Structure 1
Amino acid sequence: MLSRAYTKSRKSIKEGEQSKSGSIQDYEDCLVGFYGDLPLISCGSGTNRGVRMTMKEVLRSSVGVMGESRLGLTDKVVLLKGDLFAVKRFRKLRVRRSEFGKRVERLAHFSTLCEYLVPITAYLYAKRIKFVLCDYYPMGSLADLLAGGRRLGHTALNWKQRLKILLDIARAISFIHSECPPNERNMQMNVHGNIKPSNVMINIDFSARLSDHGFTQLAKHIEVSDVQCQQKPPPLLENFYSEDLSQKSDIFNFGLVIIDVVAGSRFPAGFRKRSLDEIKEGAIGHCFEFAVEGRERRRALQVLDIALACTNPLPEARPSIQQILLSLGNACHN
């Protein structure tokens, strides 16, 4: 529930305050009673554009936690009329109230321009709770699909579905990286900043949409326990994700996503020192977690080669997203 985002209070004169611990029932009455039933500010985007909501309605419609991260919590909301949303509630903002609204509206407009980005529907800024409302995807995140299959010991996605998902993520990154002008009112629009499987939402046709674009420029990363963080990547990958705000860091993190999608926990330690030749020669064993032979195996090796290039320790040696898209396209047809 949304209540899990409430932690011990920590005030900051410049940046607001942290939420306090307690149940959602305790806090919905407290918040609504203190502030009144605050209306959400609509961004005019998303599949449910035009739907008017209030803080009270959203808090009481929370039906389950979808995931947690160092930025905050994601909760599923089902309104009385049946509309579904994902609520992304931030632990601690890095900007003031007026700047928060401006940045969210800027990101919301940007998300309407690309079919591979998750639309932002509305947002709320109150003293003890700050969140954005996004479209909901019943298939969940890429992290959900991968982790679910691994827990059950079977392949959740076949090779074609995985390749389609990677292409859609790359198209979303390409759109972000091509944004001009790159900087707009103290916000770097041409960088995502938090690319990882839990921020890739999956449609019922296994197409993918990238979420949380720019959210690292809204909120701070807060350390949380392993129990709180859900659907973590395989242990060999989780410590490598970069938090730097740059296009080269986006590319690096996308390389880790590729490795997770193609090999997951089967990929060996020290992956950045490995080469495609070692994989081809079987020096590190069978690294794919799905059945693949013949032409599809060659294509999978090509994609893994892209991942190795993306995770090059030297940022300047990493390919651009346009080069990656070209290589992924070649992998589809070779």
Structure 2
Amino acid sequence: MGGQTRPRCYIILSTGTIEHLSADEVVDLPRSRIASVASIDLPTMERATGGFSKRNIIGEGGFAIVYKGKLPQNHVLARDLHYQRKIAVKRLKPSAQSTKGLNDFTREVELMSRFRHGNLSRLLAYCTEGDERILVYEYMPKRSLDVYIFGTPKHRASLNWAKRLEIIHGMAKGVNYLHEGSREIVIHRDLKPSNVLLDDEFTPKIADFGATKTLVADDTGSQTIVFSPGYAAPEYIRGDVSLKCDVYSFGVVLLEIISGQKNSLRPSLLSKAWKLWDEHRIMDLVDSSMASRRCSEPDQELVLSRVRRCIQIGLLCVQDSPGDRPTMSQVLTMLQASGDSSWLNKPKPPAVFLEQNHS
């Protein structure tokens, strides 16, 4: 009998192709491919974060902890920062220091070093000193979108309709850049409100291009998709990956921004939205904290018309069949168009609506 077969990792590259890596094969960081991003030393990171103090933690996920930091006044990176030398320091947890985790880190650095867009989070530097794997991003003082659309009445009220529509438009531009604007095709695969950061003017910045977008294989050879429930397209959960997976996730987030409600599997926000649209009661979907707000005439009807259009676009994005969903460039065209929405296609029911009505 031969030796035991090692499990293999499947890494979906930014070109959309799949590369097979052996379980112990780690991708290094080739300096020539990340020349636009500086490396930074560990002592500077420790000073900036107060020794990675718990009081400076501003976010935590399964793979990393994010700290708020402040660079020294004379540091070269501090010259180009908007918020008083403040930075966001993403530090991989020891449990994420596996082959897969290290490859995810490498890929995030390589991808983010090539991106230049106002609606994508900006990578400033990285640290690979010793066992540390650290990414340094620009600091976003308003934190993430979920804080405002799912938060306290005060947080919800701070996002008026104009700001919500601008966030939707900015997100669409960011995703479209990933799909068509750079020199390669990039599928984000984990669009959700907590991965949309906001600057001081509520400009959206799509973030997190790391570990949760990896396709891995277990010992049996079957593939397991790592995804965020409520945001993953039905075909993505089955293992089919395309640009339309991002379109679906974008549609979910759009409907959450308008409604102030988080999508869940049962009951589904998507089913509710489609049912209200089909019954011509779509404005019943809008965030209750915004429904009572009035803007001056004649802007009120214009804003509400744009809200209705956004809901219809969101429903087009979450249709069951990927072929029925628009591309992100088509989404941008629909968002930017003037006049009424009579020319838009009629959305078909989302997959969750079909499932719930046949169960």
Q: TM-score when scaled to structure 2?
A: 0.63
C-alpha change, 1:267 and 1:124, in structure 2 (3 Å) is closer
Give the Cα separation in 2 of the matches to 1:87 and 1:219: 26
State the identity as a percent.
Answer: 22
- Work out whether 1:138 is the aligned partner of 2:128: no
Mapped pair 1:324 → 2:327: no
| Residue 21 (structure 1) aligns with | none
Could you tell me which residue of structure 1 aligns to residue 119 of structure 2? Answer: 116
CA distance in 2, matches of 1:104, 1:267: 27
1:203 to 199, 205, 214: 199
Aligned counterpart, 1:272: 270
- Distance (Å, rounded) in 1 between the aligned partners of 2:213 and 2:142: 27
- Relative to the length of structure 1, the TM-score reads 0.67
CA distance in 1, matches of 2:56, 2:168: 28
* Aligned-CA RMSD value: 3.7
* Paired letter, 2:48: S
Counterpart position of 2:308 = 301
Deviates more, 1:192-201 or 1:241-250: 241-250
**Aligned match of 2:65:** 73
What secondary structure sits across from 1:209 in the alignment? strand
Determine which structure has more spread, i.e. the larger CA radius of gyration: 2
| Cα pair 1:255 1:307 within 8 Å, conserved | yes
User: Which runs of no fewer than 5 residues in structure 1 stay unpaired?
Assistant: 1-11, 17-40, 183-188, 221-237
Amino acid at match of 2:162: K
Partner SS for 2:157: coil
1-structure distance, mates of 2:65, 2:25: 19
- After the TM superposition, which residues 250-269 of structure 1 pair with which residues of structure 2 at under 5 Å, given as runs? 250-265=246-261, 269=267
The change in CA–CA distance for 1:217 and 1:61 in structure 2 (over 3 A counts) is: same
Paired position in structure 1 for 2:45: 58
69-78 or 159-168: which moved more?
Answer: 69-78
Distance 1:77 1:153 in 2: 24
Question: For 1:1-334, what aligned pairs fall within 5 Å after superposition?
Answer: 14=24, 53-62=40-49, 64-81=56-73, 83-91=85-93, 92=96, 95=99, 103-112=107-116, 114-126=117-129, 128-150=131-153, 152=154, 154-178=156-180, 182=184, 189-213=185-209, 216=212, 239-242=229-232, 244=236, 245-265=241-261, 269-273=267-271, 274-275=274-275, 277-278=277-278, 280-281=280-281, 285-289=284-288, 290=290, 291=293, 293-330=300-337
Distance 1:278 1:61, change over 3 A: same
> Residue 158 of structure 2: SS of its match in structure 1?
coil
Q: 2 CA distance for matches of 1:78 and 1:42? A: 27
- Cα distance change, pair 14–176 in 1 and its aligned pair in 2 (3 A): same
Per-residue deviation at 1:191? Answer: 0.9
Which residue matches 2:348? none
Counterpart code for 2:111 = L
Question: What amino acid maps onto 2:161 in structure 1?
Answer: W
